A and B are shown apart, each in its own frame.
Chain A
């Protein structure tokens, strides 16, 4: 596998991880923009715009876009997070040129009034769908409380209010400021024809705007609080906890991932044996959210309301124990094997490599091959895990719980 990069003044940066033996190509536009780059009154615009990108361009109607994607046999989709918006497609190599033309054209959507109104309904339906699915709502509330007035407090989907009131003019303004060739990367993996890719991208992006305001980076002032959301007809008890975490460039992130695996992986972890194997809870989880300047550690418990208090104490006990005694050598070895096997299997697919490459390029403008990552996990020590536990779990978390007022 070979990493190929290309950047001139005439176009956006193009990065490919070429594997001539692959059967497919995965490629996508990675835009360095997300909910953290939104003004408060247009919360959710990044995600709504992600939907609108498929609703037609100067050259193609919305129906033509969908038909062409299907005609290429593409497995394609898009997603929006706090810090990125990504549009991607996996295709057989013969379809590379047409897929690049299409995806690149999509980056200049028409944003027509009528399509905007129809799609607004779809986004509101999406919010309504998640509203029916706790713990959605608890995570969002916890992020808001934890990050306070930091941009990372903004909800990715926005709210019913912001989405209902957003105008197409506001979306156009956001698009022209954020979808510039300096703020976007064309990432590819699999069997890539790189010369053709460069040709196509440069030919189709000459007219794109340049610039883009730099992202607001400032240190968050984390605050801890305890909130109860009462929600009728909720059968389970949902608890979400947030502790200070790490940025995605922090060298301790490998140790943090190992800590989460040892404490809360969905099989064989300490919380698994305490709460899941014993049938006391449905889910007990712990995982890091890494952003480019900071991050948080999330904990989650879902169980029957009558067991919640005891289970939360058990979780707390597991965290206290690791802060005091660390982890054993055996746990360290098992976690290492589990994480490494997962990474190796995931790396089989060009589409998975695409996200790994794209995410690391967006945040670091560099890429570490799989063997380097495996080596970093291999070198984590018991002391490293104790250190990272203290840096995260030793703080007072923000807690948000959803319960039925009747229970």
Chain B
């Protein structure tokens, strides 16, 4: 679920972050969100690189876009995400290095290697409603914000853990 929501934000050129931050406003060259998962905990990291005088606007759009997940996931974007996920499962299988690292990751995280059929069924079972429900139950909060650059950014009120 968490990965699918991050996918809606960041997987593909029609994903929300790419569309809002880069395509519509030209604020960045690179913007993305990604999951870090350990056995017992995990976090989502979100990155945007921009020039100093546009950093504040970029942060604003970034937070707004993350928050927009709470207004709903539309069927078409979920469909695109499913297609991309299933297609990349096929492409991962095309090289020995890709296959072996996939197997090692699965073995480490799950203790077994799920088949492609099983993974596709999992992907197919995702619905807009279930994702929205998950988002509301796990709303992003307590952001840690790190700025690398000449001017420190500040999170709007209600956020914590700011480091520069």
Contacts and interface: CB of A to CB of B under 8 A. Distances in A.
Interface of A: 22-24, 54, 62-63, 65-67, 69-76, 90-92, 117-126, 128-129, 345, 348-351
- Listed from nearest, the 9 A-B pairs whose CB atoms lie closest are A73-B87, A121-B26, A70-B12, A73-B83, A66-B14, A66-B13, A126-B29, A118-B26, A70-B80
Interface residues of B, number: 36
Nearest to B28: A125
Given A66-B23, A129-B49, A73 B88 contact: yes
B12 A349 contact: no
A348 B51 contact: no
B26 A91 contact: no
Interface centre among A23, A122, A126 (most CB of B within 10 A): A122
Given A63-B23, A70-B80, 14 more contacts: A24-B91, A63-B19, A66-B13, A66-B14, A66-B23, A72-B83, A75-B87, A75-B88, A90-B91, A122-B22, A122-B28, A123-B29, A125-B29, A348-B96
B22 to A, nearest CB: 6
B96 A345 contact: yes
Contacts of B80: 67, 70-71
Interface string B121-143: 00000000000000000000000
Contacts of B90: 23-24, 92
Interface string B84-118: 11111011011111000000000000000000000
A47 B51 CA distance: 20
Given A74-B87, A119-B26, A128 B51 contact: yes
A125 B14 contact: no
B51 A54 contact: no
A76 B11 CA distance: 12
B79 interface: yes
Contacts of A54: 13
Q: Give the secondary structure class of A's interface.
A: helix
Contacts of B50: 125
Contacts of A121: 26-27
B95 A349 contact: yes
A63 B18 CA distance: 11
9 contacts: A66-B13, A66-B18, A70-B15, A70-B84, A75-B91, A76-B13, A122-B26, A129-B29, A345-B97
Contacts of A117: 26
Nearest to B22: A122
A121 B85 CA distance: 31
A119 B83 CA distance: 28
A333 B4 CA distance: 48
A348 B94 CA distance: 7
A107 B88 CA distance: 25
A63 B14 contact: yes
Interface in B25-65: 25-30, 49-51
